Structure 1
Amino acid sequence: MLDFPLWKKIWLWVLTLVAVAAAIPSLYNATGGEWPEGLPSPTVNLGLDLAGGSHLLLEAESEEVAAQRLENMEEAVRAAMRNAEPRIRIGDVSTANGELSFMLDSAADIDRARGILEPMMQGQNLVREWDLSVVDTQRMVLTPTQGGTENAVNDAMESATEVVRRRIDELGTREPTIIRQGDTRIVVQVPGLEDPEALKELLGQTAQLEFKLVDENALITNIQAGIAPPGSQIFPYAVGSDFEGQSVAVKRLGGIRGDSLTGAQSGIDPETNEDVVNIQFDQQGGQKFAQLSTQNVGKQFAIILDGEVLSTPVFREPILGGSAQISGSFTAESANNLAISLRSGALPVPLTVIEERTVSAELGQDSIQRGLIAMLIGSLAVIALMIATYGRFGIYATIALFFNVLILLGIMAGLNTTLTLPGIAGFVLTIGAAVDANVLINERIREERKRGRRVIAAVENGYKEASRAIYDANITNFIAGVLLFLFGSGPVRGFAVVLIIGLFTSVFTALTLTRMWVSGWLRAKRPSDINV
């Protein structure tokens, strides 16, 4: 175990120095300096409790989920009845009172219609999402069940949480804390962002993109009065568009939603020199868009974003490539923000900011200083005790402790992790764990010498026997750290990250580096006795 060939020593020193080098930019920035831009700069990000930042509490409008489910079911029912062989004709479709009801033209189609609809009533995990009933022999009524509604809201919130996370990452921020709170709320914490207005604007945009045909038969007077023709609905033009303050009637069903988008990039229209957003559909969405444009050449269609019409261009020719362009009086910034929203996906439910807090960085700086003071005092006390107790071996343990902190910081910087206030506690705990490993090793060497073993044999057996206890203890702590990381959130995960990385660096420095140094000293000096 004390045999360290030259290649192994070189490898261990290179590994150690690379990790130490990765820690230098973070240490340099911590002193108030600015790291040169041309050099690699892996840095440890500071959490909200250390760097300050923004805290937002978002609440979902769950009623929108129920309304969207109702519209989706209506479209699915119409398609199912239309595609039945022979076709089942329906009419007098209503979505009043949160229910979907329709009248069959013939009472003889009741059983056949029920057979088609029954499979559509069942959701995931065998949860029945809709109840089906027949009223007055010919009217079928579909009522959403409570379990189905709860599942839909839960799925929407899970999806919304992921969309929020993708949007914040697109902004260039690092390690935000995004967690659900209760059934309909999401907590967002973004370190280092003290002006949350841009974040609020981006998160407040649902980004529900739709392409719907304009109802060209609608009367302007009716639209101005807010009266939509049967089968149509009225949307206002967006602020800043060419027709701001006006509204337009569009066909309610038969359009295309933006959930089939695969890409969105801001750009410039070479013909008009206007800021636009170029979008790409997936295969299915591209086919639907091609079919819609082919069947409606010469007709207007509305590009609707979050209930507002951006523009109403005309299908001049079939669009077959699966790509399209969105225009609507954009600026470069608004076009880029829309592209970010579309790339990250539409929020399945609108979110409203109900609580906003800005945390000052001064509080975090105070926490850092106090944490560093605590770590410094603890380290000095441990170093004094180790050197006084174990002499030369205590010096080796002290140097290993120094490298342990630097390597830990370097690995965190390389992984671009975030340091929180509990993470500083993890640093202090790591120091204790590293010293504990050296104590076990040195005490074991003492025992071997008391048994009469020679110096090299005592040192070799001391490392060998102590390593078993060290591995057992660290494996237990590693399991605990992984569980904290998997099931914790925010500060708990910050503590778990430092703990897990610290376990590996402690074992590496306490067992491997000190053994290499002790081995080199023993082979160079070959002492007849050691003071441990």
Structure 2
Amino acid sequence: MLYIETWKRVLVWMVCAAGLVFAAPNLFYGRVELHNDAVKAIEARGSTPGLEADAALWPNWLPSDLVNLGLDLRGGAHLLAEVQVQEVYAAKMEALWPEVRDTLRDERDTVGTIRRQPAQDGTLRVKISKPENMAQALASVRKLAQPITTLTGVGSNDIVVSAQGDEIVITLSDAEKIASDDRTVRQALEIIRRRIDEAGTREPTIQRQGADRILIQVPGVGSAAELKDIIGTTAQLTFNAVINRTSDENASAGVGNKLIPSMDEPGTFYIVDAVPVVTGEDLVDAQPAFDQNGRPAVNFRFNPHGARRFGDYTAEHIGSPFAIVLDDEVISAPVIQSHIPGGSGIITGNFTVEGSTDLAVLLRAGALPAELTFLEERSIGPELGQDSIDAGKIASAVAFAAVLIFMFLTYGLFGVFANIALIINIGLMFGLLSVIGATLTLPGIAGIVLTVGMAVDANVLIFERIREELKTAKGPARAIQLGYEKALSAILDANITTFITAVILYVMGSGPVRGFAITLGLGILTSVFTAIYVTRVMIVTWFDRRRPKTIEV
């Protein structure tokens, strides 16, 4: 019997209505985008008359999710960066030196005096005055080695310790270099992602390419230079002990120290201990603020580990200066007046309000573990993106119109039902893309155009099956029911295999390929729903009202 329960009909129409409501903001894209930006700005910085006006452009009680436009549609910046992983080797040796020094000092009666020697980056050389006890010295230093926990480095240690004359030579093992390279690129990838997210950009593409390269594509950014400003600053914050202050830029810092210029005092240089007391990696939070004189500053807070080290150092060095170093420039060198427990403090300097805000953003995002070298950079203007949007609109409109005309001419009234379902299908697809925050690219538009053709394929199978059933002299109600039942297996087979292909494209692909896969996969889901349920509800509702003796498909 050709019958659908009332609750099922209501549920189908509710799903359609919900999809169209969530898709509606895309019809007013510019207005809704201004509303969303204003709401975020009000939450972050407080309300202003201009922001309130922009926020009022769209009702708060309506959905405001939009389909994000990709780089090829919106315009933006494209960068290909190479991570200089070798820099990390030198940093690891610098961090290892205090442990080696303390270990050998405990063996002073055996190894004699110790002195660090100049060495190339990634190598640590220590000279001992009693080389006849070199074997014992090597054994003590080798106890500092840590096993590598990666699958490729199982059974290996992170350092190699050897002797050359009266010097102990410490280098990173090959397995540790491989593991370090991987960690460095992963860390850089995550920090770049956090920095771009902090800047409020929409749907960036940040992917690893090869062993040490990162692809960065950010829609809506004005130029590649602007994007480089967001991610290129290292924001390496350290707190270092001050050895001396000088005006001689050629002054010798000595082994284990370094000469750093002052940011606030031109011509002034500080000799500081190369090994920091605390680093920016121990920062938990950083927020723009004002000091006691009303000047812009940055409040910071350490994690428990950093707070303990910072507190211990300030307690032991009251009356001594220490340097706050940002990207190899001393931004402040205050004298420790008292013990600073709790792990929180303030960074002062010649900041503007905007400068203190930017510094807080960079510190929260973290320090890049190594320098980035930009191998490729491109800026895609919004006018090129608009050309792509216009071309996509024309292609979609032509395909849509051709399918509507074909279905009407071929199936008459039943074709009209299929056309209505097709329009609802497009609305549902954009509603889903908006809800999940997907990015629409030019290949994604191609996926929508393909879905338009595929969406009526299921209806073609159903209608042709109804035609076949009508030839067997069965009544129209029975023919419609059998048409849907017998076409179901073919519809599911075709769409499931295509959906599997879309999933593989998404998993294995990247960038534009994923955009195509997302729209194709969602289009399959919405087209199956509209073809099987929406058209059936419309046909059954029409049949219940008209009760025709015969039908023509």
Deviation at 1:416, TM superposition (A): 2.7
Deviation at 1:309, TM superposition (A): 1.1
SS in 2 for 1:477: helix
The residue number in structure 1 matching 2:192 is 164
Determine the C-alpha separation between the residues in 1 that align with 2:518 and 2:214: 23
Please tell me the residue identity of whatever aligns with 1:345. Answer: G
Determine the C-alpha separation between the residues in 1 that align with 2:447 and 2:214: 27
Whether the 8 Å CA contact 1:50–1:367 is kept in 2: the answer is yes
Deviation at 1:85, TM superposition (A): 13
Determine the C-alpha separation between the residues in 1 that align with 2:10 and 2:108: 78
Q: Does 1:477 align with 2:535?
A: no
The residue number in structure 1 matching 2:370 is 349
- Pick the aligned partner of 1:416 from 428, 437, 453: 437
Q: Does 1:256 align with 2:265?
A: no
Q: Does 1:71 align with 2:94?
A: yes
Moved more, 397-406 or 223-232: 223-232
Q: Does 1:47 align with 2:70?
A: yes
- Pick the aligned partner of 2:239 from 193, 205, 211: 211
Whether the 8 Å CA contact 1:214–1:250 is kept in 2: the answer is yes
Determine the C-alpha separation between the residues in 1 that align with 2:109 and 2:346: 40
SS in 1 for 2:168: strand
Moved more, 195-204 or 431-440: 195-204
SS in 2 for 1:160: helix
Determine the C-alpha separation between the residues in 2 that align with 1:192 and 1:392: 45
The residue number in structure 1 matching 2:328 is 307
TM-score normalised per structure 2: 0.87
| Alpha-carbon spacing, 1:233–1:21, altered in 2? closer, same or farther (3 Å) | same
Deviation at 1:227, TM superposition (A): 0.6
The residue number in structure 1 matching 2:125 is 101
| Alpha-carbon spacing, 1:275–1:84, altered in 2? closer, same or farther (3 Å) | farther
Determine the C-alpha separation between the residues in 1 that align with 2:200 and 2:34: 20
Deviation at 1:89, TM superposition (A): 7.2
Whether the 8 Å CA contact 2:161–2:170 is kept in 1: the answer is yes
Determine the C-alpha separation between the residues in 2 that align with 1:526 and 1:474: 33
| Alpha-carbon spacing, 1:112–1:515, altered in 2? closer, same or farther (3 Å) | same
The residue number in structure 2 matching 1:113 is 140
SS in 1 for 2:253: coil
Determine the C-alpha separation between the residues in 1 that align with 2:546 and 2:102: 88
Percent identity reads 40
Whether the 8 Å CA contact 2:289–2:297 is kept in 1: the answer is yes
Determine the C-alpha separation between the residues in 1 that align with 2:34 and 2:352: 33
| Alpha-carbon spacing, 1:183–1:437, altered in 2? closer, same or farther (3 Å) | same
| Alpha-carbon spacing, 1:31–1:125, altered in 2? closer, same or farther (3 Å) | closer
Which structure 2 residues correspond to residues 169-180 of structure 1 after superposition, within 5 A? 169-180=197-208
Deviation sequence 1:89-144 (CA, Å, 0-9, x none): 77222350232222455446246415514x426453352443322333x6432223
Q: Does 1:335 align with 2:361?
A: no
Q: Does 1:235 align with 2:260?
A: yes
| Alpha-carbon spacing, 1:140–1:301, altered in 2? closer, same or farther (3 Å) | same
The residue number in structure 2 matching 1:21 is 21
| Alpha-carbon spacing, 1:504–1:197, altered in 2? closer, same or farther (3 Å) | same
Determine the C-alpha separation between the residues in 1 that align with 2:545 and 2:441: 44
Moved more, 177-186 or 419-428: 177-186
Whether the 8 Å CA contact 1:213–1:250 is kept in 2: the answer is yes
SS in 1 for 2:350: strand
Deviation at 1:369, TM superposition (A): 1.8
The residue number in structure 2 matching 1:59 is 82
Deviation at 1:82, TM superposition (A): 6.4
Which structure 2 residues correspond to residues 178-327 of structure 1 after superposition, within 5 A? 178-215=206-243, 218=244, 220=246, 224-238=249-263, 241=264, 243-253=265-275, 255-269=277-291, 271-327=292-348
The residue number in structure 1 matching 2:150 is 124
Determine the C-alpha separation between the residues in 1 that align with 2:433 and 2:417: 24
Determine the C-alpha separation between the residues in 1 that align with 2:66 and 2:223: 22
Determine the C-alpha separation between the residues in 2 that align with 1:312 and 1:5: 78
TM-score normalised per structure 1: 0.90
Deviation at 1:425, TM superposition (A): 0.0
The residue number in structure 2 matching 1:511 is 532
SS in 2 for 1:318: coil
Deviation at 1:275, TM superposition (A): 1.1
Determine the C-alpha separation between the residues in 2 that align with 1:453 and 1:384: 29
Q: Does 1:434 align with 2:455?
A: yes
Whether the 8 Å CA contact 1:231–1:252 is kept in 2: the answer is yes
Determine the C-alpha separation between the residues in 2 that align with 1:197 and 1:76: 41
Determine the C-alpha separation between the residues in 1 that align with 2:388 and 2:289: 44
Determine the C-alpha separation between the residues in 2 that align with 1:394 and 1:408: 21
Determine the C-alpha separation between the residues in 1 that align with 2:12 and 2:111: 76
Please tell me the residue identity of whatever aligns with 2:231. Answer: L
SS in 2 for 1:290: helix
Whether the 8 Å CA contact 1:176–1:188 is kept in 2: the answer is yes
Please tell me the residue identity of whatever aligns with 2:57. Answer: E
Determine the C-alpha separation between the residues in 2 that align with 1:17 and 1:436: 23
Determine the C-alpha separation between the residues in 2 that align with 1:436 and 1:76: 71
Deviation sequence 1:238-270 (CA, Å, 0-9, x none): 2xx2x133210112225111112221111222x
CA RMSD of aligned residues (A): 2.8
Whether the 8 Å CA contact 1:80–1:116 is kept in 2: the answer is no
Q: Does 1:135 align with 2:164?
A: yes
Determine the C-alpha separation between the residues in 2 that align with 1:87 and 1:525: 106
Deviation at 1:400, TM superposition (A): 0.6
| Alpha-carbon spacing, 1:374–1:328, altered in 2? closer, same or farther (3 Å) | same
The residue number in structure 1 matching 2:393 is 372
SS in 2 for 1:263: strand
Whether the 8 Å CA contact 2:25–2:32 is kept in 1: the answer is no
The residue number in structure 2 matching 1:148 is 176
Determine the C-alpha separation between the residues in 2 that align with 1:510 and 1:88: 84
Aligned residues: 523
Deviation at 1:32, TM superposition (A): 12
Deviation at 1:219, TM superposition (A): 6.4
Deviation sequence 1:355-388 (CA, Å, 0-9, x none): 4322122222222222222222222221222122
| Alpha-carbon spacing, 1:182–1:15, altered in 2? closer, same or farther (3 Å) | same
Determine the C-alpha separation between the residues in 1 that align with 2:459 and 2:327: 62
Unaligned runs of 5+ in 1: none
- Pick the aligned partner of 1:386 from 402, 407, 430: 407
Deviation at 1:199, TM superposition (A): 2.8
Please tell me the residue identity of whatever aligns with 2:273. Answer: K
Deviation at 1:401, TM superposition (A): 0.5
Deviation at 1:482, TM superposition (A): 2.3
